Every structure is written in C-alpha cells, then in structure tokens.
Amino acid sequence: MDTRMEEIVNAIEHNKLTADDSFRFHCTQCGKCCINREDILLTPLDLFRIANELKLSLKEFIDQYCELYIGSDSHFPIIRLKPSGSIKRCPLLKNHRCSVHKAKPAMCAIFPIGRVIAFPEDETSSEAPVIEYFYMNPGCGDNTKTQTVCEWFDSFGIPLDDNFFIELATFQMNFIALIRNAERFLDETAMRQVWSPVFGILYLCYDLEKEFLPQFRENAKNLLYGLQMILSHNTK
C-alpha cells in the first residue's frame, strides 16, 4: 500500500465526520496539491462537467488531458488526469491556478474531506448504502476558517445526498463482480474486445447538452446487461 493510500485508510478509520461536524481549514490557493499528483481520477460526471467547462467534446478532452487504464486490483476501467513534466503537474493547472475551478473533479473540490460508501454488511438487506465522510490532515492552508462538512460541500455545489456517487459505487461493485467472472472464461484477445466498448460506453456516450444522470443510468444498465449476455453465452 503506498503512503497516500495508507493516509486515506488511516483517516477512514480514525477521522470520521458526520455532515454536521465542523473542521478547521482554509485553502490559500498555493497550488501545491496540484503537483506531484498521479492520482487525480475522474468519474464520468467529472469528465462531463470539465469537457463542458472547456467547451471540448469528451473525446477531445480525454485525448488531450487524460490516461486510460484498467485498475490492477479493482479490474475497473479508470481515467486519470495525465501528469506533466518531472514535477508531475496536473495538466489543468495553468498560471498556478486550477483552470477548471468551477468544474474541478469532486475529489479535488471536497479535499481535505474524503468520502466512501458503506454498503449494508448483509447483501440481502434492503437498507440503502450510506455515504461516510472523513477528514484527511491536509498539511497545508492556514486553518483560519471553521465550517461543517455540509457547508463545505454546499460551497462547491456537491449535494450531501449525492445520488451519482452512490449509483457509481453500486455500479462499480456489480461491474467488478461480472468482469472478474468474464476474465475466467474469456482469453486475452476476447477481453481486449470487451474493454474498448466498456471505456466508450462508460465515459464517452453522453450528449453534453442533456442531463447527465439519466444518461449515466442508461449506460450503466447497458454495460451490466452486455456483460451478463457475454457471460451467459460463454458459460453454457
């Protein structure tokens, strides 16, 4: 486990916050958190918002600024911002400022707060998953402001009941179970033919002028259905 991942796991275990808990932090906009970064992962919603902000198509934005890979542990298709130069600067940092401030990725916007989904332990339970928050010691800023988690999210326009965050996590869990199963039955060539449309449907098949969430739901449903079909053809 790398150092950053250890910090996150430690924060999840020891620094949990509720939406009404407050924390001290004020960002001085020094830009240091935008260098030495190889871990700015983008969700389909981040891509959608940033491409709209930069007035690029999704493909143009991905080609110019991103890298695609398959998570070695998660087996999930991942898109991250492609770091540039020896200091691994985020490609969206321009003149020491975030060039997509209003649409910055959720993980950048909510820092130093992190969030995870807690699914019910009993898989058959009808309880809905809940979002848990945690505080990561930022080691930056000037601590001159105090705010609640709720106020912090509000200031970036991110809802506490973030349906997309919950639906993405649920989709990831179901997708990973199916893809791991598919990898048992399909050889490398067949899997390569699976990954290309998976990336396309999950990250590219959106009309930037339409509402995001219904499009994501449709794409997620189609991907799970497609994988189930592939599995049923190959396990008969």
**105 is a contact residue toward ligand SF4 (CB under 6 A):** yes
User: Is there a contact between 114 and 12 (Cβ–Cβ < 8 Å)?
Assistant: yes
In the shown chain, the binding pattern of residues 134 to 163 toward ligand SF4, with x for contact by CB under 6 A and - for none, equals ----x-xx----------------------
User: Of these, 4, 18, 24, 27, which contacts ligand SF4 (CB under 6 A)?
Assistant: 27
List Cβ neighbours of 4 (8 Å cut-off, separation of 6 or more): 39
The window from 24-32, 121-129, 168-176, 222-230 that contacts ligand SF4 (CB under 6 A) reads 24-32
**108 is a contact residue toward ligand SF4 (CB under 6 A):** yes
User: How many binding residues for ligand SF4 (CB under 6 A)?
Assistant: 23
**49 is a contact residue toward ligand SF4 (CB under 6 A):** no
Tokens of 227: 């994988």
**31 is a contact residue toward ligand SF4 (CB under 6 A):** yes
Is omega for the bond preceding 112 within 30 degrees of 0, making it cis? yes
User: Is there a contact between 53 and 100 (Cβ–Cβ < 8 Å)?
Assistant: yes
The window from 23-31, 65-73, 154-162, 181-189 that contacts ligand SF4 (CB under 6 A) reads 23-31
SS3 29: coil
Furthest-apart CA atoms within the chain: distance in Å: 63
List Cβ neighbours of 219 (8 Å cut-off, separation of 6 or more): 44, 201, 202, 205, 206
User: Of these, 16, 32, 180, 221, which contacts ligand SF4 (CB under 6 A)?
Assistant: 32
User: Of these, 11, 40, 62, 79, which contacts ligand SF4 (CB under 6 A)?
Assistant: 40
User: Is there a contact between 34 and 90 (Cβ–Cβ < 8 Å)?
Assistant: yes
- Applying CB under 6 A, which residues contact ligand SF4? 27-34, 37, 40, 81, 90, 92-93, 98, 100, 104-105, 108, 111, 138, 140-141
